[in-house]
């Protein structure tokens, strides 16, 4: 089972709580917690209280986004959240 993390998507038009899965150094998957539509292609992502991570996203399906980080996430951060 995939580990689910919680964070916040912050775009130019606002923010939304998100569920984060498949966290890796270059990206992750996102789903809006409250069904909000995440519309900005470029945004920042907070994972818990850690961030912001600059990112872009493409839509995978109606409720999921594939995220690509502009810079790789540090291995210590990944170990903390995925460990």
Reported as a single tens digit per residue, the pLDDT across 42-78 is 899 999 999 999 999 888 887 788 999 999 999 999 9
Say if 33 falls within a structural domain. yes
Would 17 be classed as within a structural domain? yes
What's the pTM? 0.88
E-assigned strand segments in 1-83: 5-11, 14-21, 27-32, 42-47, 50-59, 64-69
Q: Is residue 15 part of a domain?
A: yes
- What pLDDT, in 10s, does the model give residues 1-12? 578 999 999 988
Q: Is residue 51 part of a domain?
A: yes
Residue 54 lies inside a defined structural domain of this protein: yes
| Residue 66 belongs to a domain | yes
Q: What is the CATH number of the domain that holds 61?
A: 2.40.10
Domain containing residue 45:
5-75
Stretch 22-41: mean pLDDT: 82
* CB contact set of 51 (below 8 Å; sequence gap of 6+): 7, 44, 45
Q: Is residue 81 part of a domain?
A: no
- Separation CA 10–CA 16 (nearest Å): 7
């Amino acid at each position: 089972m995939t580990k689910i993390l919680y964070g916040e998507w912050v775009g130019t038009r606002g923010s939304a709580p998100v569920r984060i899965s498949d966290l890796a150094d270059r990206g992750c998957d996102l789903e809006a917690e409250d069904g909000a539509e995440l519309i900005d292609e470029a945004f920042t992502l907070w994972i818990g209280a850690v961030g912001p991570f600059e990112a872009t996203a493409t839509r995978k399906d109606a409720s999921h986004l594939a995220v690509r980080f502009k810079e790789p996430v540090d291995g210590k951060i990944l170990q903390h959240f995925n460990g």
